[in-house]
Structure 1
Amino acid sequence: MSLTLSQRGLDLAGRITAALFGGYALAFGFTAFLTVYLPLSRPDRVVTASLLCFAVWVAAVLYAFAARSAWRAWLWLAVLALLLGLFAYLPTEWRTRP
């Protein structure tokens, strides 16, 4: 199936926005999740999570351009970011931190 020039442009724009904004949301959710659940002291958790978020963002960018479609890239990035953010902000009594 051959896409027209405008369809290719829209697909590329969708992938770019998914890589930028979806990748940022995923990296933020990942950072929040690890900041809460890593078994380290608080400063070490924050530094480790903050440094690892850059690798997560790079992986999200790579996935956004490797996915079958821009919609699929947006879907997976949004779902993962939402889940990680949700688990990071669970009430304190539900957490299983030592």
Structure 2
Amino acid sequence: MPADMPAKPARRKRNGVPAWTAVSRILAALFAGYWTAWGATAFLTLALPFDRPGRVTAASLLCFAVWTTAALYAFAAKSTWRAWCVLLLAGAALYAPALLFPDFTARP
């Protein structure tokens, strides 16, 4: 290598989380968060003390707050597995009453 050519810059070590962890948490925020929001919508449609159209409207609007909270949790959880498990189980627990009492709810 001639003396007048600059040396190749050394590769920096990449800090942060592995790419698969970030992708998995993003997918958990999107899909498991959506499942949780959907379950919350079904539950709130059953539980809110309004008339049926009011329950559906209020539950649909509140589901955005639930989805935002679920997405924040997906990135705050200690592990990727915990993020997926907690969000999927929360969604299933919220959706179960709507399945048990289908006459009282309008499923989303």
Report the TM-score when normalising by structure 2: 0.77
**Alignment partner, residue 48 of structure 2:** 38
Runs (5+) with no aligned partner, structure 2: 1-13
1:90 partner letter = L
Against the structure 1 CA distance between its residues 91 and 51, is the aligned structure 2 distance closer, same or farther, given a 3 Å change threshold? closer
**Alignment partner, residue 56 of structure 1:** 66
Runs (5+) with no aligned partner, structure 1: none
Figure out how many residues of one structure are paired with residues of the other and give that number. 90
**Which aligned segments of 4 or more residues in structure 1 are displaced greater than 3 angstroms?**
none
Report how far residue 91 of structure 1 moved. 3.6
Identity in percent: 51
More helix by share: 1
**Cα-to-partner distance string for 1:23-81 (whole Å, 9 max, x where unaligned):** 00000000001111211100110010000000000000100001111110001000000
Report the TM-score when normalising by structure 1: 0.84
Aligned equivalents of 2:102, 2:69: Cα separation in 1 = 30
**Alignment partner, residue 94 of structure 2:** 84
Aligned equivalents of 2:36, 2:42: Cα separation in 1 = 10
| Residues 1:75 and 2:85 are matched in the alignment | yes
